[in-house]
Amino acid sequence: MESLQFTVSPTEVLQRKRTSCKLFVHNPMPSRVMNLRVSLTAASPNIILRTARIEFPDVPANGKSSQEILIQGIQPGQCTIQLESIKGMQKGIFKTFPNSSIMVQIQDRGPQAVQWINKNKLLKALDYLDCHLQVSRFENNTYRTKMFSDSGLGEAFCIFDHRNLANLLAVENFQYIDHTSYGKDLYDLVFNRDQYALYTRISDKADAQNMGIRLRLHIDAPELYRIRWELLYDSHVNEFMCLQIDTPVTHYLDTLQMGRPVHTTKPLKILGIAISPKDLLRLDLNKEKQLIDEAVKSLSDNGDLIMEWSDVQTFEQFRREAYSGDWNMLHFIGHSEVDQNQGGVLCFAKPNGESDKIKAADFAAALRANRSCRFVFLNSCSSAKTVANHPISNIAYTLLQVKIPAVIGMQSKITDSEAIELARTFYAAITDGLPIDAALTTTRLQLKGAFPNSISWTTPALFMRSKDGNLFEF
């Protein structure tokens, strides 16, 4: 299958709101049917191509066909349109309407650089109104959801029986389910008529102020963390909520001491720790570190970011590093787990190389000694899972309790290539100044486009205590 690569460089930025365009195909061949598959992927987290793949079957000779695409932009960046020939593609003209925003011309001599022309206003900032969704145990084996906002638009409640959760809680492997159906069932369960009416009022107010809605989840019943909340599917817009830049989904810790952005200068410093005890499944740490270094190389070359890998292996070494180190973010690669007795643990190494299971609370206490760390990325299995009889067994949630403003943990396993793409796209978005929840949304979109048969875009869960998702001010 032949494929052609086109880099599209925006001269101005699309507004945060979705722009609906039509990709228009003309088959100039006088006697040959043309069949095309068009794949759209983002080479920068600043541009969101919301349509991952389009097919144009049997475009008639000297005929035309069109398909709708959805595009969003945040800041200047680049994207890539990859055109894959199924059969019969030799020449063609692609353009979008209205205003001929994009024009790509395929010619026999190969790909051409094109310009993305857009006359919309430059988006100066990405802001959100908060919509809180609190889910807690109620009476007689029921649960109650409470929706409210910080903008004085009222409250709405919903009560449902625990039996309504049976199908949602029964899922063990999310890779092999109908994700849309699961997301719809979850949405219908927690958004009743009154809550959707309130959500609509919040949305209208956000639209009037050119803002999005940040959905903050307050999950007060630990067993409900087994639900994959990132699959919430809004049938009114036919999209998963966490894949919309307008509606990032975050897990929130109620606290009076919110994390506030700190003034800093680039480059941001990331401390990397990679640990693989000899008595656990062996991880190829050198390969993972090399791939992450390659993934963020352009950021390092531009002076945006410094990735430093520590030799830390034992927990005592980590405590000394946490106390004396000066870094903005921590990236942990290794093993973690959650069990009924200890709750969440991270696996460091003993001096003899065997595993040393450190409780999440002890890890958090050591990290608290570091005053500069604003964010922790836990690239380890089960770092965002909870067991029912351990309300604070969730490792990511535990770190929030020691005033880390934001933590990303993993709800299930992801492949090495998915982990690398996740880190590359996410850190690029952070260094561009995006709020952390918006940065993760762009990363989810990139994962979904790059790995269309994987559920990895739902695997990272974001836990926040910060007010607005802005960790740094440059």
Tokens describing residue 438:
């918006």
Q: How far apart are CA 213 and CA 132, in angstroms?
A: 10
Burial of 440 (0-12, 13-18, 19+ CB in 10 A): buried
Per-residue pLDDT of the chain (474 residues), as tens digits, is: 233 333 333 333 333 334 444 555 555 555 556 666 655 554 445 445 555 566 667 767 656 666 655 544 444 344 444 444 333 333 333 333 222 223 333 222 222 222 222 222 223 346 789 999 999 999 888 999 999 998 889 999 999 988 888 899 899 889 889 999 999 999 999 888 999 999 999 999 988 887 889 999 999 888 888 899 999 999 888 889 998 878 999 999 775 455 556 667 788 899 999 999 999 998 889 888 988 888 788 888 888 889 999 999 999 999 999 988 889 999 999 999 887 777 789 999 999 999 999 999 999 999 998 888 999 999 998 888 776 655 566 898 889 888 888 999 999 888 888 888 888 888 877 877 778 888 898 889 888 888 888 999 999 999 998 777 777 776
Three-state secondary structure readout of 347-359: EEECCCCCEEEEE
Query: Do the Cβ atoms of 471 and 406 come closer than 8 Å?
Result: yes
C-alpha triplet 171, 173, 175: angle, nearest 5°: 120
Q: Which residues contact 168 (CB under 8 A, 6 or more apart)?
A: 182, 185, 186, 189, 227
Q: Which residues contact 29 (CB under 8 A, 6 or more apart)?
A: 61, 62, 88, 90, 91
SS3 (DSSP) at 137: strand
Q: Measure the N-to-C terminal CA separation of the chain; round to a whole number of Å.
A: 45
Do strands 79-87 and 64-73 pair parallel, antiparallel, or not at all (unpaired)?
A: unpaired
Query: Do the Cβ atoms of 459 and 421 come closer than 8 Å?
Result: no
Nearest to 396 by CA among 341, 330, 461: 461
Amino acid letter, 349:
A
Domains annotated for the chain, with CATH where assigned, are 3-116 (2.60.40.10), 128-241 (no CATH), 262-473 (3.40.50.1460)
Query: Do the Cβ atoms of 376 and 399 come closer than 8 Å?
Result: yes
Nearest to 244 by CA among 203, 208, 192: 203
Do strands 268-274 and 329-333 pair parallel, antiparallel, or not at all (unpaired)?
A: parallel
DSSP-derived secondary structure letter, 466: B
DSSP-derived secondary structure letter, 281: P
Q: pTM to 2 decimals? A: 0.73
Q: Which residues contact 335 (CB under 8 A, 6 or more apart)?
A: 275, 276, 277, 280, 281, 283, 346, 347, 355, 380, 381
Query: Do the Cβ atoms of 397 and 217 come closer than 8 Å?
Result: no
